[in-house]
Amino acid sequence: MPWRNTKDPYKIWVSEIMLQQTRVDTVIPYYERFIERFESVLELANAQTEEVYKYWQGLGYYRRADNLHKGAQMVAFKYGGKFPKDPKEAKEINGIGPYTLGAVLSIAFGVEIPAVDGNVMRVLSRQFLIEEDIAKAKSRKIFEEKVMQLIGEDASSFNQGLMELGAMICTPLNPKCTLCPMKSLCQGYKKQKVENYPVKSKKEKSKIYEYKVLIIKKEDTYWLEKRPNQGLLANLWGFPLIEKEKWEQYRYLEEKAIHLPQTKHIFTHRVWEMEPIIIEEQELLDIKKELKLKKLFMNQNGGYFTNEEIDLLPIGTAFMKVVKEKRDHVERGKR
Ligand code: SF4
């Protein structure tokens, strides 16, 4: 992994933020592209948010990019571009939670501090038959204490070893126990109880939200708007999204619309089920002979864009699926 050959806290930080909620093999090309463009914390701090989003596009969970960017500005302007080594200072940086704090400080500077994430909790719970429910936030403390009992002078190697063990060997399903360098010490393996660990309560069921997505067309351009700076997909671009119940009263508008296949996007605790339609702007204006519908569906921060311009916008991952459906539809029309 490219971030394992460096002691540069900035690069370790970027990799750890990208790896949250995202698989290693997905992250590698994004990490390489990001670091090539934003080589140092100063480069990132001085970049425009839109460009940072562009390099994040496809990784999802854009709040991570936003925090990383703001955090880089803090390191650049408050600490003169040097990532602080002191945990008290470092944990004040945007987006640095206890795991990232531990990973960056231990790997880059050798600070003896735990870096406990889901992988590490899984390894330790199997090794020591720890019964704490890893889905509960308060359990982290128990695992951090365990790490502190075990960590030696080389905190960097210790934490990285645990992380790698969790990612490559002690996987959630079918752990490779026979290949594991820790098997002679692992109580779960010795007592054949690996399957029972970690203890993890079931996640709450995701809530489903149904939306009509309006792809409003004007000649060869399409309306996209910037989302508010709070909430899901904040500051990213997307199409107008109307809740299905609210849409009912406007369903008559669909008469002349083109229906695209339904798409779905899964967030951490919610699912968006989206039904995109392509509708000419004229239809919104003609039916009421006034601007009411336009005002209702299109926010102030929007504009009409060509396909080429859409490619350059930082678009929320959920909307990328709609963009793809729209593009496929246009391509089919050309054939
Ligand atoms: S022996 Fe198996 S369960 Fe124990 S740490 Fe290794 S991979 Fe995990």
Packing angle between helix 9-19 and helix 63-78, nearest 10 degrees? Answer: 160
Could you count the other beta carbons within 10 Å of the beta carbon of residue 87? 16
Name which residue leads in pLDDT, 229 or 39: 39
124 ligand 1 Cβ < 6 A: no
227 ligand 1 Cβ < 6 A: no
Asked whether the whole model's pTM tops 0.85, one would answer no
CB 56 within 8 A of CB 30: yes
Q: What's the Cα-to-Cα distance from 24 to each of 18, 20, 30, 61, rounded to whole Å? A: 9, 10, 10, 16
Whether the pLDDT of residue 145 is over 70: the answer is yes
Whether the pLDDT of residue 220 is over 80: the answer is yes
129 ligand 1 Cβ < 6 A: no
pLDDT of res. 72: 97
With bands split at pLDDT 50, 70 and 90, how would you rate the model's confidence at 5?
confident
Q: Whose CA is nearest to atom 4 of ligand 1?
A: 186
199 ligand 1 Cβ < 6 A: no
Ligand 1 centre and the CA of 127: distance in Å? 7
122 ligand 1 Cβ < 6 A: no
pLDDT in tens, 232-270: 888 889 999 999 888 888 888 888 889 988 899 988 789
pLDDT in tens, 21-50: 788 889 999 999 999 999 999 999 999 988
pLDDT of res. 23: 83
Instruction: Report CA dihedral (74, 78, 84, 87) to the nearest 10 degrees.
Output: -70
Name which residue leads in pLDDT, 283 or 286: 283
Chain centroid to CA 30 = 12
Name which residue leads in pLDDT, 51 or 203: 51
Give catalytic residues, as residue numbers.
16
From 122, 130, 178, 186, mutation site for ligand 1 pocket: most ligand atoms within 8 A of C-beta:
186
Whether the pLDDT of residue 208 is over 80: the answer is yes
Choice among 21-25, 164-168, 182-186 with the minimum mean pLDDT: 21-25
169 ligand 1 Cβ < 6 A: yes
Chain centroid to CA 45 = 20
**Percent of the chain with pLDDT strictly greater than 90:** 62
pLDDT in tens, 99-136: 999 999 999 999 999 999 999 999 999 999 999 999 88
What is d(CA 130, CA 197) in angstroms, rounded to the nearest whole number? 8
From 122, 162, 163, 183, mutation site for ligand 1 pocket: most ligand atoms within 8 A of C-beta:
183
From 120, 146, 189, mutation site for ligand 1 pocket: most ligand atoms within 8 A of C-beta:
189
What is d(CA 81, CA 263) in angstroms, rounded to the nearest whole number? 43
pLDDT in tens, 287-330: 555 556 666 777 778 999 998 999 888 998 889 888 888 888 77
Taken in order 20, 22, 23, 28, the sign of the CA dihedral is negative
What is d(CA 213, CA 15) in angstroms, rounded to the nearest whole number? 34
